[in-house]
Amino acid sequence: MNAEERFALITENLEEVLNPELIQDILKEGRNPKVYWGTSPTGKPHCGYLVPAVKIAQLLAAGCEVTVLIADIHGFLDNFSNTAPIELVEYRAKYYQFTITAMLQAVGVSTEKLRFVLGSSYQKSPEYIMDVYKLCSLVSEHAAKKAGAEIVKQSSNAPLSGLLYPILQVLDEQYLDVDVQFGGLDQRKLFAASTEWHPKLGYKKRSHLCNVMVPGLTGGKMSSSEEDSKIDLLELADSIRKKIRKAQAAPREIENNGILAFVQYVLFPAMALKSPTPEFRISRERDGLEPLVYTSIEKMHEDYKNDILSPQLLKPAVAEAIVEMTAPIRAAFEASAEWQEVTLKAYPPPPPKQKKDKKKDKGSRYPGAGSGETPNGVEP
């Protein structure tokens, strides 16, 4: 690919690119852009993570050098310490590395080309901490809150850790030695802060790739904390089919449609990485008709608006595609005793509820009532 083709693949399906000229200049020089994507190990990764996974595959196909940051200290700072100790975050970081590795392999990414980095491996160094202090002296409370508004839990009396979170993430770009940070559109304010804050420390500006935010199965944001909104990457096949059947997908409406969005941002790009002419087939066997075959999301949207493609036809096809895509992840989990052991430590099951013994109210009519005796005739 030439520089223009590489840039087109790097920016395909993105919501926005900040400072795109920085990437274009690197490509014109013939250098490979260095990109990082970070994730904070809190709730279990779900199928929404396949959206960045596909983009990472595209970045690698465009010749980028990609780093995956498992941001364990970020996970602790994000108000997590209120609900679990740092030791739990450490187990979750291991769980994330297992899961993300299997997820990337499932969409065709060779993890040999990736660099995995644990945040705590450099975020406790004297140089990094000194830069945290420097930014704390240069950035206002208002600016820090604004930068983290969409990604950090905030309240009227929030812990100071929420203010540190965006400062650390901005510094990660420098200490991971990258040209570009890739993340969801919900991080746009933080990306804008990076452009403003780095020059204050004498560091270069970076480019930022803003990925789309795919709607959840219930119509809102796909979230680890909302069980019905997402599909776990290790979810069983029957459970996947059941959740897709129940998913919100109004006929003729393509906006805020999580099922169509998944096809657009995961299934089509993943197929395109394997074949120059991707096809998504939707069976109409029950109606005695030929299958619908799509080679572009635009035609699928058109048919959905015209009710040629109905939710009843679309959902089973998407469910089977997700079952097929996540099958290697489930197989990898079943084959790894270490991963299974880490899962129990990272997400321990809640303790069983203990039944409380309730005293029976025998009323006032049992023999001996009112005489100061218990039912068996023994003085209380």
Q: How far apart are CA 192 and CA 127, in angstroms?
A: 24
Decide if 380 is inside a domain. no
For Cα atoms 96, 99, 105, give the angle at the middle one, nearest 5 degrees: 135
The span from the first CA to the last CA of the chain, in angstroms, equals: 91
Q: What is the pLDDT of residue 377?
A: 45
Decide if 358 is inside a domain. no
* 287 lies in the same domain as 161: no
* 151 lies in the same domain as 242: no
* Counted domains in the chain: 2
How far, CA to CA in Å, does 139 sit from each of 108, 130, 144, 168? 41, 14, 7, 12
* 239 lies in the same domain as 205: no
Query: What is the chain's pLDDT, residue by residue, as a tens digit (380 residues)?
Result: 899 999 999 999 999 999 999 999 999 999 999 999 999 988 889 998 999 999 999 999 999 999 999 999 888 887 544 555 778 888 999 999 999 999 988 888 888 888 999 999 999 999 999 999 999 999 999 999 999 888 777 667 777 888 898 999 999 999 999 999 999 999 999 999 999 999 999 999 999 999 998 887 876 665 555 666 789 999 999 999 999 999 989 999 998 898 999 999 999 988 888 888 889 999 999 888 999 999 999 999 999 999 999 999 999 999 999 999 999 999 999 999 999 999 999 998 877 777 666 666 656 565 555 555 544 444 44
| Contact indicator for 106, 328 with CB cutoff of 8 Å | yes
Residues 6+ apart with CB under 8 A from 164: 77, 132, 136
Decide if 378 is inside a domain. no
* 182 lies in the same domain as 252: no
CATH number of the domain where residue 254 is located? 1.10.240.10
H-type helices in the chain, by residue range? 3-11, 20-29, 50-61, 72-77, 86-106, 126-138, 141-147, 161-175, 188-197, 237-246, 258-262, 268-274, 297-305, 311-335, 337-346
**Final residue of a domain: which of 140, 174, 209?**
209
Residue range of the domain that includes 306: 235-344
Decide if 108 is inside a domain. yes
CATH number of the domain where residue 12 is located? 3.40.50.620
Q: What is the pLDDT of residue 380?
A: 42
* 154 lies in the same domain as 95: yes
* 239 lies in the same domain as 195: no
* 185 lies in the same domain as 249: no
* 74 lies in the same domain as 193: yes
Decide if 365 is inside a domain. no
**Final residue of a domain: which of 209, 244, 273?**
209
Decide if 223 is inside a domain. no
Decide if 354 is inside a domain. no
**Final residue of a domain: which of 209, 225, 244?**
209
Residue whose token pair is 């608006």 = 305
* 200 lies in the same domain as 252: no
* 314 lies in the same domain as 194: no
Q: What is the pLDDT of residue 18?
A: 97
* 12 lies in the same domain as 131: yes
Residue whose token pair is 């746009």 = 188
Q: What is the pLDDT of residue 228?
A: 67
Decide if 179 is inside a domain. yes
* 203 lies in the same domain as 167: yes
Q: What is the pLDDT of residue 223?
A: 57
